[in-house]
Amino acid sequence: MAQVTLRDLATNEDIVVPPEGFIFGRVGGDADIQIEDNSISRRQARVSLKGGQWLLETLAVPQGQKAPRPIGLQEGATFNVGQSEFEVVQIEEDEEEQEAAKTVMPPAVKGKPAAAPQASAAKKAPAAPNAKTTPSQSQQKRPAAAKDDAGGGGDEIAQKGFGAMFVAVPKGLAYYLVNVPKMLVNPMGTVKKTIEELPAEPMGRIELIGYALPSLLATALLGAWAGGLAALIGPGHVFSIMSFIPIGPAIGSVIGAIVTGFIFHPVLTWVIKKLKGESDARSRTNYFLQMQVVAIVLAVPSALGTILAALPVPFIGLVGLLLGVVASLVNIYVLFQWFTFFKVVKWFKTVLLVLGGLVLLSAAWGLIQGVISTVKGLGSGGGAAVVATNDGSGDSADSADDATAGLDEMPTDPEEAKAWAEKRTKQLQAKAAADLKKAQAAAAKDAPKDEGDSEPTEPKEPKKDTKTAAKDEPKPAKDEPKPAKDEPRDEPVAAKDTPPPPAKVDVAPITASGAYGTFARRRDTIEKTFEADPTILAKSTELQKLYSEYLDAAYDLDKKLQKDNQKKPELSKLNARLHDAELFTKTSKTIDQLAEKMKIK
């Protein structure tokens, strides 16, 4: 039976490998030969017999790289699996296969008999790059591994120049394009596979900078672009070029990548050492790459939530919150699994779980609050809202306020929205009538104090009661002629509790009439409606556009009014009147369109 005997040069133990082969890997996996070495994968290499030749195959291949060609093994050669070294002590061939190989003759060439081929096992295979082909060399003591360039762990990291960063940047971009979707689709499987295989080779400072730069740029650009899109599609429709070309965040990403590359290995090594754990350059590098992937994954729901929150659609903003909760769970899972792999103390993992739980509860609470707020904001349009009526009482304005506050938000159904708008208009009209009635009553009360009344009255006459006045009035004498019909007679004054007749209130404020009066009334009603319920704007992009046009024109005219008043402050009142007239000229059509959309007459 064919077999090969290998010797572990560290323990001097012999290992007999059958033809189907053995797999070499890290402790904790399903490898046949398990090695205490965190720098290798759980299925790192395999020695097996294929085509009559014993071969050493590399199974753990970094992503984006091709697997190296299998290496033929000979007696006396040595090879390494991680930090462990093995020697090929003896290769035993199958006698039946060897005899069959000797009896098979190759075809003759040009009439000359061909020589018998050697057994396939006797063929000389190319030596491995790390193989030592002489027994004397194989017995040499292995050199101690040099410390890496990051200064930690006693594991070797190849020193590379500044140019390696420019090679690492596109590699990092390709790595994230492949692994971010994997993390989004199957986070648990991706984390588990990465920890088991540790596919990435150890990286030094320069390479870490190159891999960190695409990740930090992606998170910064996602946040800036999301904010720019939200401002563009929001009520104001604001476009900012700096949101789409974020120079500041880009510079910050470059600085962050440089700092991260220089401090990552030393800081993480120190932390794990303080927590009584174990790590090496390979495991730390793979942890670094996976955390960069998680950072991008966390930035995706945040950016999506910012964009969706600008859309006037019920519950759409909760999608970003929900994705944020899922991303927080992924982050907690990744941290816990990796620090478990680093074999840190148990209390730290407990603290990590508690902190992660608090983050999760906070995110879940934000989601619940968002759901409650959205549900409260949804209006059915059929609420039992009380419409204030102008019954002449002094509480009509308060009733109108209560009725306005009692209305639900504008419903989304067109028919319900129409009914809602009519109710809102009636309420605002009732409130305006109540305010006018109060103003008239106050003006009538102060009327005797004004001079120049068309009908002068005695100072004490209004305080007399009609019955008392009738008794105290002197009767005319018999011989005294009766007053003519055309002669003015003293009329009885109304009692204090009787409201004054509207005909005598000539000091009430004069209301505008005609086109400007209609414009002013509609404008004030629109402003009061938006002030009472701003969600009306949030639910209609058309109203947002029209209202923005009005505000833009008003803002420009206000600036012009300020300049005019600064030049000639003595004409400030005239400037104000001209300002109102120009505002009417420029925005009357916009106000009419708003009133038509809101069913305001």
Q: What is the pLDDT of residues 503-546, one digit of tens each?
A: 544 444 444 457 888 888 889 999 888 888 888 888 888 888 88
pLDDT tens figures, 77-107 = 999 998 899 999 988 876 665 555 454 444 4
Spatial separation of the C-alpha atoms in residues 325 and 255, rounded to whole Å? 29
For the record, the structure tokens of 246 come out as: 């974020």
CA dihedral 259, 263, 265, 270 (to 10 degrees): -150
Q: Is the sign of the CA dihedral 276, 282, 288, 291 positive or negative?
A: negative
Q: Give domain status of residue 301, yes or no.
A: yes
363 with 441, same domain: the answer is: no
390 with 366, same domain: the answer is: no
267 with 316, same domain: the answer is: yes
Of 389, 424, 447, the residue at which a domain comes to its end is 447
242 with 312, same domain: the answer is: yes
Q: How much is the pLDDT for 446? A: 59
Spatial separation of the C-alpha atoms in residues 269 and 152, rounded to whole Å? 6
Of 406, 422, 447, the residue at which a domain comes to its end is 447
Q: Give domain status of residue 443, yes or no.
A: yes
Residues 6+ apart with CB under 8 A from 179: 63, 190, 289, 290, 293
Spatial separation of the C-alpha atoms in residues 371 and 155, rounded to whole Å? 51
Longest C-alpha distance within the chain, in Å? 178
When computed from its CA atoms, the radius of gyration of the chain, rounded to whole angstroms, is 45
97 with 245, same domain: the answer is: no
Q: Answer yes or no: are the C-beta atoms of 203 and 244 closer than 8 Å.
A: no
Q: What residues in the chain have per-residue pLDDT under 70?
A: 63-64, 94-159, 235-236, 314-315, 317, 320, 374, 376-415, 417-418, 443, 445-513
* pTM score, whole prediction: 0.46
245 with 362, same domain: the answer is: yes
For the record, the structure tokens of 400 come out as: 């109108």
Q: How much is the pLDDT for 64? A: 63
Residues 6+ apart with CB under 8 A from 543: 536, 537, 594, 597, 598
414 with 438, same domain: the answer is: yes
Residues 6+ apart with CB under 8 A from 300: 184, 222, 323, 327
* Of residues 47, 40, 61, the one with CA closest to residue 19: 47
Q: How much is the pLDDT for 412? A: 57
Burial of 430 (0-12, 13-18, 19+ CB in 10 A): buried
Q: How much is the pLDDT for 126? A: 38
- Domain of residue 424: give its range: 378-447
Q: How much is the pLDDT for 326? A: 78
Q: Check residue 36 and give left, alpha or beta (phi > 0: left; psi -120 to 50: alpha).
A: beta
Q: Answer yes or no: are the C-beta atoms of 35 and 80 closer than 8 Å.
A: no
199 with 182, same domain: the answer is: yes
Q: Give domain status of residue 129, yes or no.
A: yes
537 with 404, same domain: the answer is: no
DSSP helix, strand, coil percent of the chain (3-state; round to 5): 55, 10, 35
pLDDT tens figures, 285-343 = 999 999 999 899 888 878 887 887 777 776 676 776 777 777 777 888 888 889 888 88
318 with 382, same domain: the answer is: no
For residue 532, give the amino acid letter: A
Q: How much is the pLDDT for 431? A: 78
Q: Give domain status of residue 527, yes or no.
A: yes
Of 447, 462, 489, the residue at which a domain comes to its end is 447
For the record, the structure tokens of 344 come out as: 């840190």
DSSP reduced 3-state for 109: strand
Residue 532: enclosing H or E segment and its boundaries? helix 514-532
Q: Answer yes or no: are the C-beta atoms of 587 and 518 closer than 8 Å.
A: no
Q: Give domain status of residue 462, yes or no.
A: no
Q: C-alpha distances in angstroms, 372 versus 38, 315, 326? A: 49, 10, 20
Spatial separation of the C-alpha atoms in residues 582 and 601, rounded to whole Å? 22
Q: Give domain status of residue 223, yes or no.
A: yes
Q: How many domains does the chain have?
A: 4
Q: How much is the pLDDT for 415? A: 64
For residue 45, give the amino acid letter: A
Q: Check residue 536 and give left, alpha or beta (phi > 0: left; psi -120 to 50: alpha).
A: alpha
Q: Give domain status of residue 455, yes or no.
A: no
Q: How much is the pLDDT for 95? A: 63
H runs (alpha helix) in 139-200: 163-185, 187-197
Q: Give domain status of residue 49, yes or no.
A: yes
113 with 91, same domain: the answer is: yes
324 with 190, same domain: the answer is: yes
Angle (CA) 507 508 512, round 5°: 125
Spatial separation of the C-alpha atoms in residues 336 and 177, rounded to whole Å? 24
Q: Residue 54's domain is classified under what CATH number?
A: 2.60.200.20
